[in-house]
Structure 1
């Protein structure tokens, strides 16, 4: 991928991006990842236990949250966010890994409180979506509320603070904590980051974006909590899930940009419906914070950066 610009700052009108054929998953044979194209083809998620027995466990994700059955838990206070308001270098590694758009963070914002047993540090985020346009218009969120799904779901993956990486974190129960944000069709709250700089690596498979975007999130006090798993193989059980009630808004045009992705080389299969169906609760309780607290207007950069950077890379 090559970025071209004329003059000083990179302006939208001057932005030209050239994507090599390999960029969006057209040549991923040299890169290893656990979940291949077959993961989300019709009928395959129920067969994941043949790949990894953990996928047939009793604490699998995602789940359908039935609001009349949730349990109010007074200890679920608003989460604390550390480093989410620090721009840092803003350089993130974005990869089409063959089943989603995954962004690896080079900084480690942390979360705590909110009934979590310890602090957790963010390591990556990724998205799940369906078919955003008619006639199909298939919602793609993994979790659902009373059977209703949203067009998209954003997952911010955290590992326990004392773990070196995801593999290390998985050695202990409760090693991972995932923040889940629903994405609904709404207004186009942004078009492009005000400033972008980029460099090309590994034949365009990776991009590095430096953005300056801020976002005020004032109501993160209402959320659901349960114990579950990763939603793709190896389906590791030991994930503390936090699903926020308040969705993020993107326009239909922005959601549709994800339809340009493909699963693998020389494939006409668009990367859509990359979500796992709801799994049985098997007696697990879904807790509810019940809070309706207007949090102090903190600038949580990670969420808008996640969507802005990803959409920017898909826009050209």
Structure 2
């Protein structure tokens, strides 16, 4: 018997063409991310797929990673719950945080200055059949005051491509400094926003932009925008994708709060 050793082919990708050259499902899929959200053309989100945020406050030291395409912060920052079709709350643990400049998602045809994406993986594996196991919470960023979350990750020491940096033990990283868990949000069925573009992701895009100073944004701009060798200065983003008939849903935090009050007082 003759055995043939086949080379392991790893699909290498980058943002040089902002995703237009990506292969496989990235090119042929019908539920791809990111998207442009038409804020005047959404449906009301019911109980199914509704989401609640349970992020921690301050956490200890974290590692900041530059994989050549984005900056990420792996680690446990808390969790979200998502209600399934049977009314059960599925728990999704944080996996890592990513940064994109400009934003990948658009509102009404326009991007925001930046986007922070919190990736999650389902925890209660006994109940994953027929329900997605990945979810992303997305936070849009605009210029404003200094942000404590950004300050805590030592932006002046952002690692170069292919390297990482461990924050000091005294660093006070608090995801809630840049995420309002009570904000309204948009929801849609989408994909991983990079190869292999797997279409099993639930996306939750908060409506309100959070403030980060120009000085803090500039550290990311130096990596992905002002360095024209990186996607010709267009940033570490994938272009928005067609909806292909998908529905974008809207969830009002005020409606949720009233529902919770009614539940606890009834």
- The reply to whether TM is greater than 0.5 is yes
Deviations 1:159-214 (A, max 9, x none): 01145xxxxx9x9751100000001011224484499xx9x9xx963424432255
On the 8 A contact 2:53/2:181 being kept in 1, the answer is no
Task: Say whether 1:109 aligns with 2:78.
Answer: yes
Residue in 2 that maps onto 1:242: 204
1-structure distance, mates of 2:144, 2:218? 13
The count of residues paired between Structure 1 and Structure 2 equals 232
Shift of 1:235: 0.5
Task: Say whether 1:45 aligns with 2:19.
Answer: yes
Matches within 5 A, 1:1-316: 36=13, 39-42=14-17, 45-49=19-23, 52-75=24-47, 79-82=51-54, 84-88=55-59, 90-105=60-75, 107=76, 109-113=78-82, 118-129=90-101, 140-162=102-124, 174-190=132-148, 192-193=151-152, 205-210=164-169, 211-212=171-172, 214=174, 215=176, 220-261=182-223, 269-270=229-230, 272=233, 273-292=235-254
2-structure distance, mates of 1:156, 1:35? 23
2-structure distance, mates of 1:241, 1:274? 19
Distance 1:189 1:94, change over 3 A: closer
Distance 1:172 1:274, change over 3 A: farther
* Structure 2 portions without partners, runs of 5+: 1-9, 258-266
Shift of 1:69: 1.3
Shift of 1:127: 0.8
Shift of 1:143: 0.6
Secondary structure in structure 2 of the residue aligned to 1:276? coil
Deviations 1:232-265 (A, max 9, x none): 11101110000000111111111111133379xx
Distance 1:262 1:152, change over 3 A: closer
Deviations 1:46-66 (A, max 9, x none): 2212xx334420100001111
Shift of 1:71: 0.4
Shift of 1:67: 1.5
Shift of 1:92: 2.0
Secondary structure in structure 1 of the residue aligned to 2:33? coil
1-structure distance, mates of 2:143, 2:47? 32
- TM-score (structure 1 length as normaliser): 0.63
On the 8 A contact 2:92/2:135 being kept in 1, the answer is yes
Secondary structure in structure 2 of the residue aligned to 1:282? coil
Residue in 2 that maps onto 1:166: none
- TM-score (structure 2 length as normaliser): 0.73
* Structure 1 portions without partners, runs of 5+: 1-32, 130-139, 164-168, 296-316
